[in-house]
Structure 1
Amino acid sequence: MTNGSTGQRRVAAVTGGSAGIGKAICEDLLALGYDVVSLARRKPAGDHPRLHSIEVDLADRAATAEAAADLVRRFEVTTVVHNAGVIRAALLADVKLEDLDALVELHLGCAVQLVQAALPCMRAQQFGRIVLLSSRAAVGMPTRTAYSATKSGMLGMARTWALELAADGITVNVVAPGPIRTDMFYDVVEAGSDKERALAASVPVRRLGESADVARAVRFFAEPANSFVTGQVLYVCGGTSVGSLAL
């Protein structure tokens, strides 16, 4: 995909692009003509001439800084999709502060580092799209102290950035998924179990989400034509954000 005003190719950086939702986002953006750079601990499976990979542990601040510098040295990134995440579930009495620190680093700090690195290019082109992947758990869920705290922190961060960057042609929005059938989901709920079936039945739309459901929402916010939408949160959750959900 190219920028009509400059002829430059659109480049999207996607964190956690090697599996699950991140993989679906990469595939969707590739289908739309983007060059896509996955930043994850593993290289994405498969081969595509416009798919690139930077292998990095995004929970490591120093490693993320190196990866961000490498990213913008090699590519003119104008779209950043921060999808990488982990849960680290625990009831309040069992929450470990080191888990909270790790999720702050991955969910929030990593986003700051990558967006700061990409900002000069976005501002030079007077165009940018930033999409943060939060979670339905941002509105609250048992055992999610560290996860909910950092995922809800994305909402305030995105709204602040939206105000700061609007005049530069940069939009900032949030997609909040869940429950989505991914490996991370099945780390918590056994595949094919009664618990999985009960959970699907409790979702207002009567099914669990798929990674492609989330990728389509990200596509909307990343679309160059959608320049009048910024600072927004879209829950891709089958209606569970307006009801109750128990895992």
Structure 2
Amino acid sequence: MTEQYDTLEHVLRAVHANTLSVDEAKAQLNHYDELGFAKIDLHRTQRQGFPEVIFGEGKTKEQLDEIVHALIKHDEIVLITRINQEKADSITAKYCHLEYHETAHIVSTPIKHIPKTKHYASIICAGTSDLPVAEEAAVTAEVMGIQVQRFYDVGVSGIHRLFAHIEAIRQSNVSVVVAGMEGALSSVVAGLVDHPVYAVPTSIGYGANLQGVTTLLSMVNSCAPGTSVLNIDNGFGGGYNAAMIIKMIEAH
């Protein structure tokens, strides 16, 4: 695998020192891989610390195949979100080293092959119906190299279940709280910890829940400081933001 250089000067010095060929330098200086229907961002890792993530919903099996091929060709970690079983089976049949996380609806580079951080993120889920969103957050963070601890089915209707795990949650450096209905769990957690909390509203609830709009507005109006709110069902965003916090901590 060709060493990656983080600045233009480093690339030019490597070519001058004959440690990098002209063709390899051209490949590293290319900003994207043109597929016609998509342009694969090849500098995302250098800019943001993680490769481009593929949103699987709405893409055909053939398009996903070409995108995955491009990522693998450039030695990038693969993370495809919102992918159904049929498309996942098509991808993993051709790229057998990739794995499908059924509950999270994610195809990724095997998590066990990715080194993990010392610090960890807590992924906290109110109810079993919220699990797909919580697992999207947890798997996203794990693929990004973050150690994760899961605390599931600890919603406010049986709040003693949360308190049984509160010390372990307090030991983490960031929490992602996934909840539907009235979304009260994020405010409860934020009032008990001294680290950032990312609240992810889900579309789980009865009619007046309005497919998650009620939960979203409840979380946005939280009286607990330290809470940031993601979009409805955006487990990926919660996991990604948590990963950025942990990476910042471990970089210093």
* TM-score over 0.5 for the pair: no
Give the structure-2-normalised TM-score.
0.31
Larger relative contact order (CA 8 Å, sep ≥ 6)? 1
Higher Rg: 2
Give the structure-1-normalised TM-score.
0.32
